[in-house]
Amino acid sequence: MITAPTCTPGCCGALYVTVRREGERVVWDGWENTGDITAVPMDFHFDAGQYDAELRRAAADRGWEEPVDTVARLLAEILTGSGWFERWGCVLTDVSPRREELGVPEELMDPEGVDVDFHHVSGTGERQAFYRYELYVLPGLPAEEQARRLADHILADDPRRTAEVRYG
């Protein structure tokens, strides 16, 4: 899936493509549009070396990031590399930025921040428990400092005790 609506693909459709390597070529084909407009692009063929170089360049480009994106990315790197969740029998499943939502009244909106989701690996027959940290990003503080501060908060104790239980 390379595009999706703001609701869900099941609601308004999405655009899908198959990407594969064929020797020295990368091919995008097998397009599917599940939305109301069913037009699809033509097949694309790329030189594999140029394609790989462009992927590396795009992955290194952080110019599009807002501060909340940078904090989320850096926090994910710290948490993933720490082994902390595994120590407690948990699996880190997502670290994502939380933005203000358009059209939501200010009094119902959460401030910008980072959500950290994880679950506890349960034994056979046990119900799995899912957890979330809803962390806030402070305007004006450097992203690196904020990521470290948020990581220190999470890494200070058993995450199952300090995070909010989502369900389980």
| Residues 46-59: b if buried by 16+ CB within 10 A, e if exposed | beeeebeeeeeeee
What residue has token string 């599917």? 32
Burial of 160 (C-beta count, 10 Å sphere; 0-12/13-18/19+): middle
Tens-place pLDDT, residues 10-39:
788 888 999 999 999 999 999 999 887 778
Report how far Cα 56 is from the mean position of its chain's Cα atoms: 19
Tens-place pLDDT, residues 145-162:
999 999 999 999 999 999
Q: What is the pTM of this model?
A: 0.70
Strands (E), 70-162: 90-98, 113-120, 129-136
Burial of 18 (C-beta count, 10 Å sphere; 0-12/13-18/19+): exposed
Distance separating alpha carbons of residues 3 and 15, to the nearest angstrom: 5
